[in-house]
Amino acid sequence: MEYFKEHKNKLICTLCSHYCSLKKEQVGICGINKNTGKKIQCLVYGYIGNAQEHKHTFCTSCNKILIQRQGFLTLKNEVTKDGCICGEKLEGVFL
């Protein structure tokens, strides 16, 4: 699922009600969503409670499940110090 719309040379972020028009590498007014040039990327990799459609955290490059959840339980956490094992450096804060 894509959370943006393309408009001219910018991406319109649709992840919140601000609908920021972002140039490449620009971060939205929320401070957590960024135009990477190809898509809008969430910089915090959070999830919303135990909502079914936001259950797992995926790598933005290889789409591997990095954090697998069941409700509020973490079943698997494969986030490395640098990000994903595929080599993709993940932006954000990981505790």
- From first to last of its 95 residues, the chain has per-residue pLDDT tens of 677 888 988 999 988 778 899 999 998 888 888 999 888 888 776 544 444 555 778 888 898 988 887 766 778 888 888 788 899 887 766 55
Domain spans of the chain?
A: 4-42, 44-95
Cα gap 77→59, rounded to integer Å: 12
**Cβ within 8 Å of residue 95, ≥6 positions away:** none
Cα gap 38→60, rounded to integer Å: 11
pLDDT at 46: 55
pLDDT at 53: 55
